[in-house]
Chains A and B, each alone.
Chain A
Amino acid sequence: MLKRLALVLFLMTGVAAPVLAQQTPTTSQEKFVPIDQLPPEEKLPAAPFLISAYAIVWLIAMFYIWTVWQRVNKLETEFRALERRGHKDAAR
């Protein structure tokens, strides 16, 4: 259940983010201007962006591995159930 909720959120951010983020730029940039030629007040600090980009990559990887792990858990419980049924049938 939690996994499904997380999956919905993940899908929404992963897919909707670029669609939603297609806003008109807050600065009135008409064409490509290299960052060091922009006036200082229009620059954003670089480090948070860099860190968040790398962090997101890691989080996505961890999330996926977690979903695989959940699936393995589910497989295991089903397997145990099957085993128990097999033992019961054999015992009869």
Chain B
Amino acid sequence: MFLRTALLVLKKDVSVEVKSLEIVFTTLFFAISCVLIFSFALVGPDGEAIDKAMVPSAILWIAVAFAGVLGLGRAFERERYGETLKALLLAPAPRPAIYVGKLLGILLLLFMTELVLVPTIAFVFDAPLFDRVLLLAGLLVAGNIGFAAVGTLFAAMLVRSGSREIMLPILLYPITIPVLIAGVRGTSALLSADPSVPAATMWLSVLLSFDVVFVTLALWTFEPLMTE
């Protein structure tokens, strides 16, 4: 009886899924995006596995990426539940302002997460993350802005979509790969055996230019995207 019921439930799920294969494809692709993220963060330029010093920075940025996606999802879930996004759009406020407001909210969330995350990682991996706090903070802020700029736009658009939880990471991770690369390389430049400030500054400038370009693009596309 027990087994029969279990098998019937399985059969039901399979027969519904087989029609569109939606969950199969999206989950599969999400897994591949994760492989991509991990390989960019953890594999060195010549294909060899990274040295020990880079592990903390890779973990830090991957954690930020995952937390960011979850936070974005939740922040906009609220909008969907209260239908406040529609209300905001009806208000006679400039649309880009709504975008910037949401962006700042997400940034605040990420910042508070990192306040706890960075010391935790420094402690667990015994990594000298606090040697150049300003530069590290700069990298994190610039990286968060880039990540959140694209993420806020996508999450806002996905509010009405049914498969929003899985679509957001699928769309976001490939496009924010440069943020991940620059962030991980920049942070590990600070953590390696001989820390290199010029290298970290160079990666910081990459992040900043990414921010400029993508915030501009997002501001430009927010209005046409949100209109019906």
Contact = CB atoms under 8 A, between A and B. Distances in A.
Direct contact of A and B (CB under 8 A): yes
Interface of A: 1, 4, 8, 11-12, 15-16, 19, 22, 24
Interface residues of B, number: 12
Contacts of B36: 19
A1 B47 CA distance: 38
In the A-B complex, the 4 residue pairs with the smallest Cβ-Cβ separation, listed nearest first, are A4-B21, A15-B32, A19-B35, A22-B47
A19 B43 CA distance: 12
Interface string B26-59: 0011001001100100010001000000000000
A8 B21 contact: yes
Nearest to A19: B35
Interface of B: 18, 21, 24-25, 28-29, 32, 35-36, 39, 43, 47
A27 to B, nearest CB: 14
Given A4-B21, A12-B28, A16-B32, 15 more contacts: A1-B18, A8-B21, A8-B24, A8-B25, A8-B28, A11-B28, A11-B29, A15-B32, A19-B32, A19-B36, A19-B39, A22-B39, A22-B43, A22-B47, A24-B47
Nearest to B48: A24
A24 B49 CA distance: 10
Nearest to B49: A24
Contacts of B32: 15-16, 19
Contacts of B25: 8, 11
Contacts of A8: 21, 24-25, 28
Contacts of B29: 11
Contacts of A22: 39, 43, 47
A26 B2 CA distance: 51
B166 to A, nearest CB: 16
B86 to A, nearest CB: 33
Contacts of B21: 4, 8
Contacts of B28: 8, 11-12
A16 B21 CA distance: 19
